[in-house]
């Protein structure tokens, strides 16, 4: 392919072409599927390609165009989309990149996926991830790692690494990921994308395999702020199948052109002095702050005194919830089964030992310990108290500012095998975890390449609870400076990673 790929186009460009009948939605689907066939072997973002579902969705869009009413097909009509493989979709396997669920077929469709398809999105397939979302590099997938399209020797981040890589390589216009402690924002930063974790409750979690039920949230990867806002519009809102979902009436595209003049943006000085923050990342974040000041924003220093405890609290709360959620994978009702051990206990033990990978077993064991008698009061209860303190810190900060600006990750994408110590890997999320604990919305906005690594760097924007439009407004202002996120050079202009 030498011409611009359909999946490299934004939502508006695709829909202009469809409305003008320059191409059909079926041509978009077929072209996108062909590009995946050629380019994905260089990236390994996809675990499953859904050709039949894509063509059926495209035909529905073409029928609307033929009737002279493209708008009736939905706000994402004709847009190539793909989904992290912890999101159920009837007709596909939902493996969570684990041998435990290698052959599990979706019995229903996740609400977030259904809403993207109902809005006219063309479902291209399911995307690689860290096993059960446990990881920050997509190296823990039972089906092999995903490569960063900017440098195939480096990780794309995680756990939504496949979702980030698919958009960065121009294999999808929109992808969905899930974020428990940074798993949308960190790969968004590593792959140079607009990556949004909405406030907890904005998007239904029904049909998404749970890691930490009080922390998980679904959000989009795109290459422009407007596309992210359109995807949020499609997904957001109350779902009777998820009691944590909220009624949302916000049009996330409404204030994107308003700029930041008059906004008060918070900066946390302690974040900028953290040990391990790479100089090139710090420099790009500071540059973005100065650009926002130049655009008319007032920069205000704020304090989050308990943020340093977020990592400790998260690695109590997260494993405890993971231990509870993964108890259902017992080899009896569904999941990998290693039979022939004489009794049910032997089958259960052998199946879980072989079905789960090392990081999943590590978190299950940690959660089991932390919830055991005599230990619960020492760790779990204090972690919940810290959660309350962190939430209050953010609430006080937002009495002074409209949005907070911070780093996403302390570093740019690292090489495969470079980070082998689990604790060091956990530190990839040092700036993102507190937002999940508090339930706020957060996003990564690409602000160019690091001076040394020449790899993407993202700045994190954090909004007050249920005011995600604030961070999107700030991101749109930064986009006027840095431009929309580009496709990685090896995949741009129709190239397939050569």
Residue pLDDT, tens place only, 164-197: 999 999 999 999 999 999 999 999 999 999 999 9
Locate 237 and state its tokens. 């809102």
Query: Is residue 292 helix, strand or coil?
Result: helix
Can you give the pLDDT at residue 337? 92
Instruction: Give yes or no for residue 221 having a pLDDT over 70.
Output: yes
Q: In which band, very low, low, confident or very high, does the pLDDT at 333 lie, cut at 50, 70 and 90?
A: confident
Looking at residue 220, its pLDDT comes to 98
Q: What is the pLDDT of residues 429-458, one digit of tens each?
A: 999 999 999 999 999 999 999 999 999 999
- Give the catalytic positions in this structure: 84, 159, 183
User: Is the pLDDT at 341 greater than 80, yes or no?
Assistant: no
C-alpha angle with apex 316: 311 to 318, nearest 5 degrees? 85
Inform me whether the pLDDT recorded for 217 exceeds 60.
Answer: yes
Confidence (pLDDT) at 99: 97
pLDDT for res 494: 85
Q: What pLDDT, on the 0 to 100 scale, is given for residue 1?
A: 37
- Please, what's the largest Cα pairwise distance for the chain? 71
**Is 460 a residue whose pLDDT tops 90?**
yes
- Identify the burial level of 47 via C-beta atoms within 10 angstroms of its C-beta, where 0-12 means exposed, 13-18 middle and 19 or more buried: buried
> What does the pLDDT average to over 227-242?
98
pLDDT at 72 over 50: yes
Residue-level pLDDT at 422: 87
Query: Which whole number is the average pLDDT over 82-108?
Result: 97
The 10s digit of each residue's pLDDT in 4-43 is: 789 899 999 999 999 999 999 999 999 999 999 999 999 9
**pLDDT score recorded for residue 7:** 85
- Does pLDDT of 369 surpass 70? yes
pLDDT band at 345 (very low <50, low <70, confident <90, very high): confident
| Both structure tokens of 157 | 């981040």
pLDDT over 80 at 273, yes or no: yes
Residue % of the chain over a pLDDT of 90: 93
pLDDT band per the 50, 70, 90 thresholds, residue 340: confident
Neighbours of 41 (CB within 10 A): 11
With contact defined as beta carbons under 8 Å apart, do 487 and 193 qualify?
Answer: no
Task: Say whether pLDDT at 114 is over 70.
Answer: yes
What would the pLDDT profile of 384-418 be if each residue is shown by its tens digit?
999 999 999 999 999 999 999 999 999 999 999 99
Question: Given a cut of 80, is residue 331 above it in pLDDT?
Answer: yes
User: What is the average pLDDT score of the chain?
Assistant: 96
Sheet holding 46-49, edge to edge: 46-49, 122-127, 80-84, 174-179, 217-222, 194-197, 441-449, 456-463, 403-407, 264-267, 298-301
């Amino acid at each position: 392919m030498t011409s611009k790929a359909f999946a490299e186009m934004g939502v508006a460009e695709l829909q202009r072409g469809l409305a003008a009948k320059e191409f059909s939605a079926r041509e978009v689907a077929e072209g996108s599927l062909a590009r995946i066939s050629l380019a994905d072997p260089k990236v390994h973002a996809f675990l499953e390609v859904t050709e039949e579902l894509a063509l059926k969705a495209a035909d529905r869009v073409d029928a609307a165009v033929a009737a002279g009413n493209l708008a009736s097909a939905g706000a994402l009509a004709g847009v190539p989309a793909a989904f992290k493989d912890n999101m159920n979709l009837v007709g596909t396997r939902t493996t969570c990149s684990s041998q435990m669920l290698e052959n599990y077929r979706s019995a229903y469709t996740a609400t977030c996926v259904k809403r993207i398809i109902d809005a006219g999105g063309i479902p291209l397939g399911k995307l690689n991830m860290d096993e059960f979302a446990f990881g920050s590099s997509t190296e823990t997938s039972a089906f092999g790692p995903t490569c960063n399209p900017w440098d195939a020797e480096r990780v794309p981040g995680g756990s939504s690494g496949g979702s980030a890589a698919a958009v960065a390589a121009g294999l999808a216009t929109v992808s969905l990921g899930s974020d428990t402690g940074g798993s949308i924002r960190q790969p968004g930063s590593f792959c140079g994308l607009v990556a949004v974790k909405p406030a907890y409750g904005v998007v239904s979690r029904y049909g998404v395999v749970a890691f930490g039920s009080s922390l998980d949230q679904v959000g989009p990867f795109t290459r422009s702020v407007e596309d992210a806002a359109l995807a949020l519009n499609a997904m957001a809102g109350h779902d009777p199948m998820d009691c944590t979902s909220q009624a949302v009436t916000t049009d996330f595209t409404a204030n994107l052109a308003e700029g930041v003049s008059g906004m008060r943006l918070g900066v946390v000085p302690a974040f900028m002095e953290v040990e391990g923050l790479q100089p090139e990342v710090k420099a790009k974040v500071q540059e973005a702050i100065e650009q926002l000041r130049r655009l008319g924003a007032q920069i205000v220093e704020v304090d989050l005194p308990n943020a340093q405890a977020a990592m400790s609290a998260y690695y109590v709360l997260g494993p405890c919830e993971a231990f509870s959620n993964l108890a259902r994978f017992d080899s009896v009702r569904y999941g990998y089964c290693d039979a022939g051990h004489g009794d049910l206990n032997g089958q259960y033990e052998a199946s879980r030992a072989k079905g789960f990978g090392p990081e999943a077993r590590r978190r299950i064991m940690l959660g089991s310990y932390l919830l055991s008698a005599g230990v619960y009061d020492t760790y779990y209860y204090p972690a919940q108290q810290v959660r309350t303190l962190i939430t209050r810190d953010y609430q006080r900060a937002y009495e002074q500012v409209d949005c907070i600006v911070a780093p996403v990750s302390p570093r740019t994408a690292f090489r495969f095998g470079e980070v082998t110590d689990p604790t060091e890997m956990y530190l990839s999320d040092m700036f993102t975890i507190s937002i999940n604990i508090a339930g706020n919305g957060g996003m990564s906005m690409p602000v160019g390449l690091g001076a040394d690594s020449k790899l993407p760097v993202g700045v994190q924007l954090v909004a007050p609870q249920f005011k995600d439009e604030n961070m999107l407004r700030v991101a749109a202002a930064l986009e006027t400076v840095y431009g929309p996120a580009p496709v990685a050079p090896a995949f741009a202009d129709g190239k397939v990673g050569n």
